[in-house]
């Protein structure tokens, strides 16, 4: 990892060291609590899928805010309010960490909310930027994401912070999320839409492309066919989950559980569509999702 300590980890460690209780007592009490992972819909499942590989013994509450998908075109205040509601929900559920498995939330809400909770919060932006900088040879990096993420300049700023001379070319792809949530993963319409969004980036001769919205790795095959195999596709989830693991480990918060984990799915919209599409995209059964009101 490029950064020894992430912002979330720093905040969490400082908070723990100020406590009168012993660090180890706090850790022991929290080890077996679940981790909250959330997105507007099925996008965060691309993060959850990496999570299962890297942290297989952790319990998870996956929250899909399907009543309010898509997030991408919503104004800042609304995204902040939505994220506050979700983080408060996870606080009430007693989680030990939250992963913002959503590029829009990570870009727009993370900076304002990261210090407001007792648990560490993981954002995707720094890990994604770090992976892109490590992968790019010619320093020409493309970023595709929602309008909110692109407008925030979060990836652009972070990439340039890590590599001053990098050139970043961004493209918002607002039609991808509705297509993916509708289950149109490999359709002609999706391919045509992708060709339109990606053409300007191909023209810029990028050698690396950040999939800056967690829905987009579901289109990895389509995107790769269009941009060509010589363009490295960056899924920020892998580094983000590695960060999460490092923070848990350094704070003695890795679960004691050595067996199989408990995965709970909650949705704010109709459960059935999420269960069906989610099972297909995750490649494992989501037998039940229960609906909550936030």
Residues in contact with ligand DGL by CB under 6 A are 39-40, 43, 69-72, 102-104, 146, 149, 177, 213-215
DSSP string, 232-273: EEE-THHHHHHHHHHHHHHTT-S-S--SPPPEEEEESS-HHH
Find out whether 265 is annotated in a ligand binding site.
no
Nearer to ligand DGL, 16 or 201 (CB): 201
CB nearer ligand DGL, residue 141 or residue 210: 210
User: Does 24 count as an annotated binding residue?
Assistant: no
Whichever of 102 and 166 has its CB closer to ligand DGL, that residue is: 102
Task: Please check if 57 is assigned to a binding site.
Answer: no
Count the neighbouring beta carbons within 10 Å of the beta carbon of residue 144: 28
User: Which CB sits closer to ligand DGL, 80 or 254?
Assistant: 80
Q: Give the span between the Cα atoms of 171 and 226, in whole angstroms.
A: 15
Which residues does 29 contact at the CB level (< 8 Å), separation at least 6?
none
Q: What is the helix (H) or strand (E) element at residue 291, kind and residue range? A: strand 289-291
39 among annotated binding-site residues = yes
Which residues partner with 141 through β-bridges? 168, 208
Catalytic residue among 35, 159, 168, 213: 213
According to the annotation, is 2 in a ligand binding site? Answer: no
CB of 49 to ligand DGL, least distance (A): 14
CA distance 233 to 228: 10
């209780």: which residue's tokens? Answer: 21
Q: How far is the CB of 81 from ligand DGL (least distance, A)?
A: 15
CB of 123 to ligand DGL, least distance (A): 11
Give the separation between CA 132 and CA 129, rounded to whole angstroms.
Answer: 5
* Sign of the four-CA dihedral 134, 9, 72, 37: positive
Least distance from ligand DGL to the Cβ atom of residue 210, Å: 11
With respect to ligand DGL, which residue has the nearer C-beta, 16 or 129? Answer: 129
- CA-wise closest residue to 12 among 116, 110, 119: 119
What's the DSSP call for residue 69? -
Partnered with residue 36 across adjacent β-strands are 61, 98
Known catalytic membership, residue 213 = yes
209 has which bridge partners?
A: 142, 233
Q: What's the min distance (Å) between Cβ of 21 and ligand DGL?
A: 36
Closer of 69 and 219 to ligand DGL (Cβ): 69
- Residue recorded with tokens 């995204």: 79
From 16, 45, 97, 102, active-site residue: 102
Helix axes 125-135, 237-250, angle to 10 degrees: 120
Minimum Å gap between C-beta 38 and ligand DGL is 10
Is 173 tagged catalytic? no
Is 214 labelled as part of a ligand binding site? Answer: yes
Per the annotation, where are the binding residues for substrate? 39-40, 71-72, 214-215
Per the annotation, where are the binding residues? 39-40, 71-72, 214-215
Residue numbers annotated as active site: 102, 213
């Amino acid at each position: 990892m490029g950064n020894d300590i992430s912002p979330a980890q720093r905040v969490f460690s400082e908070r723990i060291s100020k406590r009168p209780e012993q660090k180890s007592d706090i850790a022991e009490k929290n080890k077996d609590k679940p981790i909250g992972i959330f997105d507007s819909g099925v996008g965060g499942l691309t993060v959850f899928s990496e999570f299962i590989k890297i942290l297989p013994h952790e319990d998870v509450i996956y929250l899909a805010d399907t009543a309010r998908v898509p997030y991408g075109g919503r104004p800042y205040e609304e995204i902040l309010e939505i994220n506050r509601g979700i983080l408060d929900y996870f606080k009430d559920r007693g989680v030990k960490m939250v992963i913002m498995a959503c590029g829009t939330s990570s870009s727009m809400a993370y900076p304002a909310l990261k210090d407001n909770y007792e648990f560490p919060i993981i954002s995707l932006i720094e890990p994604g930027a770090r992976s892109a900088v490590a992968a790019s040879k010619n320093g020409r990096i493309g970023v595709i994401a929602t309008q909110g993420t692109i407008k925030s300049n979060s990836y652009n700023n972070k990439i340039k912070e890590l590599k001053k001379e990098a050139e970043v070319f961004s493209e918002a792809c607002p039609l991808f999320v509705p297509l993916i949530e509708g289950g149109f993963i490999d359709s002609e319409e999706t391919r045509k839409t992708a060709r339109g969004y990606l053409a300007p980036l191909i023209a810029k001769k990028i050698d690396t492309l950040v999939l800056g919205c967690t829905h987009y790795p579901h289109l990895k095959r389509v995107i790769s066919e269009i941009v060509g195999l010589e363009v490295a596709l960056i899924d920020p989830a892998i580094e983000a989950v590695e960060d999460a693991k490092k923070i848990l480990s350094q704070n003695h918060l890795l679960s004691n559980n050595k067996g199989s984990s408990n995965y709970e799915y909650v949705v704010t919209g109709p459960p059935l569509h999420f269960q069906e599409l989610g099972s297909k995209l995750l490649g494992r059964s989501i037998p039940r999702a229960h609906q909550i009101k936030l």
